[in-house]
Each structure stands twice: as C-alpha cells, then as structure tokens.
Amino acid sequence: MHINYWQTLWRDRLGRSGILLICLILSMALFAPWLAGYQPAAYSKAPLSPPSLKHWLGTNDVGQDIFSRLLYGARTSLIIGTGVGIVSVLLSILIGATAALFGGLYDRITMRVVDALLVIPPVILAILVATYLRPNILLLILIVSLIMWPGGARVVRAQTLSLKERMHVSAARAFGANHRHVLIRHILPEMGPILIAVFIQFIRRGIFMEAGLSFLGISDPAMVSWGGMMHHALRFSYLKVWKWWLLPAGFALSLTVMGFVFMGYALETTLNPRLLSQND
C-alpha cells in the first residue's frame, strides 16, 4: 500500500515540530539581509556593547552586530549541512549500491574499507584534517562528507541487496538490463524514503560537526558560524556581555539540531510499518 510519507510526517507530533523548527531556521537564513540591521563583518564604534534598540544582542569586541552574525550564521550551518547531506548520500549510493550489485571481490574489499573507516572516530579524524587545512565552506563540506559516508553506504548496500532480489528487478535483469538501468529505474525509486532519512541524518551530523570544529577554532576564522561565535565569546568570559553572543548562538544551534532529530525520529516511525500501526 502506498504511503504519503510527508503527510504522515506532518501528522506526527515530533515530525511537525521538527518541520516548524527547520522552517524557522531556514527563514532566518533566507531573510537575513532584510532582518539584520548590519552586515555581519561590518564594524561599529561601539565594541562590547550590551543589548539595545540599535544592537538587539549587543556587539562583540570589534563592534560587529551579534544579531546580524546570528542570522548569517544560520546560512553557514544550513549550507554546510545540506552540502554534507548531498555529497554523503551520493557517495553512499555510489559505494553501497555498486558493492551490492557487483558483489564478489569488489564487495568484500569495499565493505572492509567501510568497516575500517567506521572504527575511526569521525570527530578525531575531522579535527586532524581541519587543523592542517583550515578549511573554508567548500573544503569543510568535502572533509565532513568523506568522513560521514561509510555509515550511509552500509544502509544503502543492505537495502540494495534486498531490493535486487524482488521479482520485477530479477525480470529486468533477465531481459538484459545492465546494473546502471536496474539501479536508476528500479532500486533508487523504491529506496527514496530511506535515502531521505539518511539525508536528514547527514545534515544533522554535518551541522553539528561544523559547529564543533568552529568552536574549537580550527575552521576558517573569516567564516560567520555559530560555533565560531561561541568560541570567540569564551575569550571574553570575564566581561558581562560575553553571554549575549554565546547563549543565542548555542540556542539557535540546539534548535536546528533538535529540528532534524525530530524529523529523523518521525521518519523512522513512518518507515517502520509496525511502529506506524502502533501510532494509528
């Protein structure tokens, strides 16, 4: 029976909460030029100012408007998270699906490489790479994606192994369809909901990884980031104004991660028929 996953996701209380949270953060990112009163890198003559009508969250040590940087930080998080999600899903499909379709020695070697990468803690690997490269947005997307994809590849491989044994796929292969045709026309369309769930998980992890690297101070210092704002604020913890650019950034990051967590949990319920029947 066909299930409209997005309608089911919206009917779920957590799923609806997650969608609303993500829409809020997305609105911050899209309308930042109109909502922000200043450019994020613009300097004013009032450094370390407390919140006021002119600067809603005050200014940092060089006079930059914190509220403006908070809004533009949403852009950085969503761009990096979405980029990591797209690249990681493509790598997962490329590696996981081909391993399941080709099988044999290629499958065994590929899965041993995936197992080896899964053993290495991704945070430590990201820190080591980013420390030497000081990545910008594009390079950060590539680094995090190359670390994240193995988990998704295992999921895609397992689903492909199951789907390629179905009758219509076997019939297509019997009529001479090659691996590319089978993958694009038969397997990927049926794997759509799983790929959406994996994509959301990658976005969440990408946003959290970027914030962690920026908080540790090993990303591009010119990049406007919530993690970078928190890292910068801790250097002025002896002043009373530091909390105005630490707490809002942490709160915005928490809302973003919570939004994707809620959507992922609701999708898990949607994709599992037993859980779906319990909620009906």
Closest CA to 205 of 246, 242, 160, 256: 256
In this prediction, residue 5 carries a pLDDT of: 64
Greater pLDDT, 254 or 278: 254
Task: Write out the chain in H/E/C secondary structure.
Answer: CCCCHHHHHHHCHHHHHHHHHHHHHHHHHHCHHHHCCCCCCCCCCCCCCCCCCCCCCCECCCCCEHHHHHHHHHHHHHHHHHHHHHHHHHHHHHHHHHHHHHCHHHHHHHHHHHHHHHHCCHHHHHHHHHHHHCCCHHHHHHHHHHHHHHHHHHHHHHHHHHHCCCHHHHHHHHCCCCHHHHHHHHHHHHCHHHHHHHHHHHHHHHHHHHHHHHHCCCCCCCCCCHHHHHHHHHCCCCCCCCHHHHHHHHHHHHHHHHHHHHHHHHHHHHHCHHHHHHHC
Summarised one tens digit per residue, pLDDT across range 20-75 is 999 999 999 999 999 998 999 888 878 888 898 888 999 998 899 999 999 999 99
Mean pLDDT along residues 215-241: 87
* Whole-number average pLDDT of the chain: 87
Query: CA-to-CA distance for 231 and 253, rounded, in angstroms?
Result: 13
Which whole number is the average pLDDT over 141-163?
92
118: pLDDT strictly greater than 80: yes
Residue 279: pLDDT band (50, 70, 90) is very low
Higher pLDDT, 106 or 131: 106
Q: Among 3.40.50.10680, 1.10.3720.10, 3.40.605.10, 3.30.200.20, name the CATH number for the domain at 12-25+67-279.
A: 1.10.3720.10
Instruction: Please tell me the predicted confidence (pLDDT) of residue 275.
Output: 44
- Give the rounded percent of residues in the chain with a pLDDT score beyond 90: 48
User: Would you state the pLDDT for residue 237?
Assistant: 82
> How far apart are alpha carbons 264 and 199 in whole angstroms?
9
Higher pLDDT, 174 or 183: 183
pLDDT, one tens digit per residue, over 260-278 is 999 988 887 766 654 444 4
Which pLDDT belongs to residue 272?
61
